């Protein structure tokens, strides 16, 4: 493709994916509200607030695909979630509608279903059970994307990412972890598959102790290669046994189920 946009490029996942995207597109437009550093030879750097409709319209113009990682990524005050994750997503989809409907990979989250217990194994048809306002904002994002698909044919991969980081940092993440390599190969499949539609995809590696059934996404041809199990022994040593009644042991969303509603002001 000619031009791929990545939002949230200054964040944890954005920094991990940015150097891996050059092979997907001639030009990678990297964006964030935060500082992005210097542009590489194949990059365009655009600093922009997702809550600013005009700026987002200019950001999306000329792009053939969008890796949407930008936004508030944990529980926070509603005003911040509202701007980045609700208004920001609406701005992104309206800009996409105005500029040829580039395919979108939306970084949704396991916190759309965080109140399921870990002994419940679910697929993508399970009703949402968000564990906070952040999770609710991802439910909104999935619903918004679905509406733009039904009404206008806008294609989006709704990727419910588990825990995408260098390595799992607790025993819960032995189930939720996705390696950077597996995310990179998923991005590749999402932007190459001839017909995408608007599927929900669980963003996890091939973990032995997974709770989520990804069979509905088999058509993508994505085959995650990593398995968090290889970290179990060192987590046992570094953290000891995880208390059986901790939210980390009970709920799919882990500690997020305990977050309060953070007050504005």
* Burial class (CB within 10 angstroms; exposed 0-12, middle 13-18, buried 19+) of 142: buried
Structure tokens at 259: 């977050």
The answer to whether residue 134 is catalytic is yes
* Paired tokens of 169: 């940092």
State both tokens at 84: 């980045």
Tell the smallest beta-carbon distance from residue 79 to ligand 15L (Å): 19
Closer by beta carbon to ligand NAI, 102 or else 135: 135
CB of 107 to ligand 15L, least distance (A): 8
Residues 120 to 179 in contact with ligand 15L, rule: CB under 6 A: 163, 176
Q: Which of 93, 134, 148, 251 is catalytic?
A: 134
Q: Is residue 68 near ligand 15L by the rule CB under 6 A?
A: no
In this chain, which of 109, 179, 185, 207 binds ligand 15L, going by CB under 6 A? 109
Among residues 49 and 229, whose Cβ is nearest to ligand NAI?
49
Closest separation in Å from C-beta 52 to ligand NAI: 8
Structure tokens at 89: 């997503």
CB–CB of 239/171 below 8 Å? yes
Q: Select 16 or 244, whichever has its Cβ closest to ligand NAI.
A: 16
Distance CA 72, CA 234 (A): 31
Query: What does 49 interact with, of ligand NAI, ligand 15L, none (CB < 5 to 8 A by kind)?
Result: ligand NAI
Rounded least distance, CB 144 to ligand 15L, Å: 17
C-alpha span between 8 and 17 (Å, rounded): 10
Q: Cα Rg for the chain, rounded, in angstroms?
A: 18
Residue 85 makes contact with ligand 15L by CB under 6 A: no
Q: Which stretch binds ligand 15L (CB under 6 A): 105-113, 151-159, 184-192, 218-226?
A: 105-113
DSSP 181: H
Active site residues: 134
């Amino acid at each position: 493709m000619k031009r791929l946009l990545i939002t949230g490029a200054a964040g944890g996942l954005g920094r991990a994916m940015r150097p891996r995207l050059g092979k997907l597109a001639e030009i990678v437009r990297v964006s964030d509200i935060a500082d992005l550093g210097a542009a590489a030879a194949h990059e365009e750097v655009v600093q922009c607030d997702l809550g600013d409709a005009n700026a987002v319209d200019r950001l999306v113009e000329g792009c053939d695909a969008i890796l949407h990682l930008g936004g508030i990524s944990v529980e926070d005050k509603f005003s911040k979630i509202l701007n980045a994750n609700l208004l920001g997503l609406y701005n992104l989809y309206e800009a996409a509608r105005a500029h040829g409907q580039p395919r979108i990979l939306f970084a949704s989250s396991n916190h759309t279903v965080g109140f399921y217990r870990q002994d419940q194994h679910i697929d993508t048809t399970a009703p949402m059970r968000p564990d906070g306002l952040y999770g609710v904002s991802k439910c909104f994002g999935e619903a918004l994307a679905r509406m733009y698909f039904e009404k206008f044919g806008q294609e989006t991969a709704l990727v419910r990412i588990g825990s995408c980081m260098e390595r799992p940092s607790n025993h819960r993440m032995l189930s939720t972890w996705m390696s950077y390599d597996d995310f990179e190969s998923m991005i590749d499949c999402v932007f190459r598959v001839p017909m995408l539609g608007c599927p929900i995809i669980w963003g996890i590696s091939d973990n032995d102790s997974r709770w989520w059934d990804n069979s509905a996404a088999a058509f993508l041809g994505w085959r995650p290669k990593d398995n968090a199990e290889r970290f179990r022994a060192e987590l046992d040593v570094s953290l000891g046994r995880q208390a059986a009644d901790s939210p980390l042991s009970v709920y799919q969303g882990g500690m997020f189920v305990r977050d309060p509603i953070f007050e504005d002001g």
